[in-house]
């Protein structure tokens, strides 16, 4: 098992399982509404061209989150299969 990292540290194409949500308040609830809870598998789909924003595949939908919020989402990277 790899060490948890911040979600915004994932490279495009990387998959990871959510380890812990450190976000507080409304953002925390919003992420939970989107189905982002512990052990949810996410994939990094892209980084915005201007930087500062990452797009992640969460339960079938692509959600963009600013890095300063992504800093608080800890994930465990998953081995790429095959």
Note the residues at the interface with other proteins (CB under 8 A): 23, 26-35, 37-38, 40, 43, 45-53, 55, 57-66, 68-69, 81
Distances (CA, A) of 43 to 6, 10, 20, 59, 75: 13, 8, 16, 10, 11
φ, ψ of residue 25 in degrees (nearest 5): 60, -145
Q: Least Å distance between CB 16 and other proteins? A: 14
Q: Least Å distance between CB 64 and other proteins? A: 4
Q: Which residue, 5 or 63, is less far from other proteins as judged by CB?
A: 63
Q: Least Å distance between CB 36 and other proteins? A: 8
| Gap between the Cα atoms of 34 and 80, Å rounded | 24
């Amino acid at each position: 098992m790899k060490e948890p990292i911040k979600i915004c540290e994932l490279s495009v194409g990387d998959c990871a399982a959510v380890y812990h949500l450190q976000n507080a308040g409304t953002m925390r609830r919003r992420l939970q509404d989107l189905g982002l809870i512990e052990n949810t598998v996410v994939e990094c789909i892209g980084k915005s061209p201007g930087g500062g924003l990452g797009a992640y595949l969460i339960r079938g939908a692509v959600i963009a989150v600013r890095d300063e919020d992504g800093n608080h989402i800890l994930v465990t990277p998953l081995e790429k299969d095959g």
